[in-house]
Structure 1
Amino acid sequence: MRLLRQFPGIAACCLLAANAYAAGLSESEARFVKAELSAPSYGALFEEPSAEDLLRDHAHAVAALIRARLSTGESLPPQLLSEAKHLQRARYQFMDRKDRAVVDAALALRLGGFSVPGPGLTATLPPPAAIPPEILAEEDFPAFLQGVRAEAAKEGVPGAVLDEALTGLTVDQRVLDAENSQPEHTITFEEYLGRVVSEKRVAGGKAMLAEHAGLLDRASSTYGLTPAFLVAIWGMESNYGPNQGSWLVIRSLATLAFAGKRPSFFRKELMAALHILADEGMSSRDLKGSWAGAMGQPQFMPSTFRRLAVDFDGDGRRDIWKSVPDVLASMANYLAKAGWDPKTGWGAEVSLPADFPQASANLSVVKSVADWQAAGVRALAGALPAGTLSASIIRPSGPGGRAFLVLPNFRVVMRYNNSQYYATAGGLLADRVGAP
């Protein structure tokens, strides 16, 4: 299952058309390709993959699926052989020796079958015995960990840290199952709000706002975040602390780097996590978070932690698991660095005229608040923001649903979690937490 899990994710990441690419694959493989386009996200604070990471993961995924089919003697569909030829023409950029060998083996087989683009390529393969077994063999997990150890040691992670973190580590099948799980149904915006902006969470936010008033004022003056908005994000990420995840981050990241859909991304996060153990003097047993490696109360990925976590209580450690000052300041620092404007809010719920074009309800359509007001947009409560501010109109529920005028700070929140549902809920929760 490792190979089937990995390949479709890369196909989707590379923006291949699912229906076209699935032609010629087995029913199960095609189903994975198509399902990946609606796969669940990993969580907050996931950066967009670099072009190099996409190419590397795509090349590895093509080789992995070829290896799987060669191992069982199955024929290769034309699309796979065409992809292999493209990799060869690109001189195997970003591919390791074993992946190059398996692609070479596929391209060298020119027995009968149907042709695909490129001279001499066919889709029929000889028995697997014709291919050297060392080419078909997958890297095992201990060998993978040896490579990780060597890379981390080269980056300066002490041997004692690597021994404690990596010795005896095994693949966590539950992590792969979580990565590939699909929700039974797509949650609606109103259902999402009911869960995230519940009366209990609003009450909890008001309590936190009062309990940590002095700390929040200090963080607000340092980073420019309003206390209510900071509390709202805190509540959405970990319910003000208790919901941090209990997965062992090193094991989860190693599993995803070895057998997940984005191995390049998770290998970098694994390296960052190993550095955290060294920098913060932590044991791998204490480095806990979500199944995808998001850590602590802010749910920071390790690379985000290294860049933006803050020691706000002055104890010499950046503790986003137990220290409320460090948690709040780290979240505030993230949003400030992402471009938060302390002079403006996030937006407001609005009413739209009956003839409002649905195509204009899109984050890509940006106008001044004054222009939106001239087009008939009205605040449901209070007044619209200053007319000179730039804004967009969104309808998270789709045509006919609730409408919101959102300011640039809304996009900043989407840097924390790339979801309109999330950013809208954060704004609404902040409004209610901060209300008298």
Structure 2
Amino acid sequence: MRILPVMAAVLSVGLSTAAHAQSCGGNFGAFVEGLKSEAASQGYDRARIDSFFRNVRQDQAVINADRRQGIFQRPFLDFSRALISQSRLTNGQRNFERQRSVFDRAQQQYGVQPGILLAFWAFETDFGAVQGDFNTVNALVTLAHDCRRPELFRPQVFAALEMYRRGMLDPVQTRGAWAGEIGMVQKLPSDIINYAVDGDGDGRIDLQRSAPDALLSAAAMLRAKGWRPNEPWMHEVALPQGLDLTQTGIRNELTVSQWEQLGVRPTHGRLPSGNLRASVIVPQGHRGPAFMVFHNFRVLFEWNQSFIYVTTAAYFATRLSGAPVYQAGNPETGLNQDQMRQLQQRLVQRGFDVGAVDGILGANTRAAVQDVQAQLGLPADGWPTPQLLGML
């Protein structure tokens, strides 16, 4: 979803948005005129600016999609079962065989294993089959105008303008996801500018039609974001009785050897080198599946910031790499969206930082839940339950 430097001004606006982060809302036409003035100040000629923005329209369907992300409110077991099917596993194997040489190159050049690329390729577009039908420029300008996340989307408008300048985007014809991502692995314009690779050697970059371009661009981005070549990202584990659950969670790290000394064991195969640092996460509490995750797992948040999405993609990547189905366990009942909002509000009242009060159990809310569970003498696994909500 997310380097070819030509205009330093374009790259700087894509990375530093403090001066314009509040420039949102109001009359849409006036907002577009402001974007055009800013583009001119960056050195773009007026004719190109006018051509780029000529047909731009506010798209209410984009706003509706942005507000409708209910799937991210599902618990891990439900979410992963919704996204992972036998069909996707089968198609993953078929696409691996079709593009084996490309996956070999991705691993040799960038150290990114096939399972990771296959997982995101599957989740983002079903291996290129469903890339979205939203006009990309309309989507980006609409979301930049909307005041929910202007600091994310305003820079992408100018990155899309730079793509247009380079002949990589047609403001009328280019279509993709509602959030402005383009291509088989759904990259935002700034990431296309910064990390796109001509994987098939035809002299141009086409992330919508060329699997080699899309896959190698994804690998290049992960490597640039800090992926450590050929290191692991996740391994399912079993927790011992009596483990201090305050040590679990993405915030806390020990070496693999230290986790083993505490009694954490792999559910299959062998754990990686004992010197690697790792966290143990329990996405649906200590009675559900448990995973040991490594540095490369954290890098995946550069692709998508949703904890539930990244955890599921990382797990699916292990399945595509030969791991068995997780041990589902018997998790405690969680909270619905309204209850989650109530919980977040009560945590905020107690001084905890949960991020947005949105009814979604993200990393910040999990950390706050774990801390308050420890204070109240509950199993501190970061999984909120009706009991916890009642106690608060």
TM-score tier (shorter): 0.7 to 0.9
Shift of residue 404 of structure 1? 0.5
Shift of residue 223 of structure 1? 1.2
Quote the Cα distance in structure 1 between the aligned partners of 2:203 and 2:14. Answer: 33
The answer to whether the 8 A contact 1:253-1:293 is kept is: yes
Tell me which amino acid in the other structure corresponds to 1:257.
A
In the alignment, is residue 384 of structure 1 matched against residue 246 of structure 2?
A: no
Task: Report what 1:209 is aligned to.
Answer: 96
Shift of residue 285 of structure 1? 2.5
Quote the Cα distance in structure 1 between the aligned partners of 2:106 and 2:16. Answer: 37
Shift of residue 311 of structure 1? 1.5
Task: Report what 1:238 is aligned to.
Answer: 125
State how 1:241-260 maps to structure 2 within 5 Å.
241-260=128-147
Task: Report what 1:180 is aligned to.
Answer: 67
Task: Report what 1:355 is aligned to.
Answer: 242
Tell me which amino acid in the other structure corresponds to 2:59.
D
Quote the Cα distance in structure 1 between the aligned partners of 2:133 and 2:48. Answer: 21
Change over 3 Å in CA distance of 1:169–1:424 after alignment to 2? closer
Q: Kindly provide the CA deviation profile for residues 148-169 of structure 1, in whole angstroms up to 9, marking residues without a partner as x.
A: 2232233343444433331142
Quote the Cα distance in structure 2 between the aligned partners of 1:311 and 1:184. Answer: 34
Larger Rg: 1
Q: Kindly provide the CA deviation profile for residues 243-272 of structure 1, in whole angstroms up to 9, marking residues without a partner as x.
A: 211111111111122233223432211011
In the alignment, is residue 335 of structure 1 matched against residue 222 of structure 2?
A: yes
Q: Kindly provide the CA deviation profile for residues 391-419 of structure 1, in whole angstroms up to 9, marking residues without a partner as x.
A: 10000112321111111111112221123
| SS of equivalent to 2:292 | strand
Quote the Cα distance in structure 1 between the aligned partners of 2:262 and 2:85. Answer: 33
Task: Report what 2:109 is aligned to.
Answer: 222
Tell me which amino acid in the other structure corresponds to 1:144.
F
- TM (norm. structure 1) is 0.66
Task: Report what 1:273 is aligned to.
Answer: 160
* Gap runs ≥5 in structure 1: 1-43, 65-137
Task: Report what 2:374 is aligned to.
Answer: none
Task: Report what 1:318 is aligned to.
Answer: 205
Task: Report what 1:200 is aligned to.
Answer: 87
The answer to whether the 8 A contact 2:195-2:220 is kept is: yes
Quote the Cα distance in structure 2 between the aligned partners of 1:54 and 1:303. Answer: 17
Tell me which amino acid in the other structure corresponds to 1:191.
D
Task: Give the alignment's Cα RMSD to 1 decimal.
Answer: 2.6
Tell me which amino acid in the other structure corresponds to 1:211.
R
Quote the Cα distance in structure 2 between the aligned partners of 1:257 and 1:393. Answer: 37
Tell me which amino acid in the other structure corresponds to 1:187.
R
Higher helix share: 1
- TM (norm. structure 2) is 0.73
Aligned length: 313
* Gap runs ≥5 in structure 2: 3-12, 324-392
Runs of 4+ in structure 1 displaced over 3 angstroms?
49-58, 156-161
Change over 3 Å in CA distance of 1:263–1:346 after alignment to 2? closer
Quote the Cα distance in structure 1 between the aligned partners of 2:108 and 2:152. Answer: 35
Task: Report what 1:432 is aligned to.
Answer: 319
Match of 2:171 among 261, 278, 284: 284
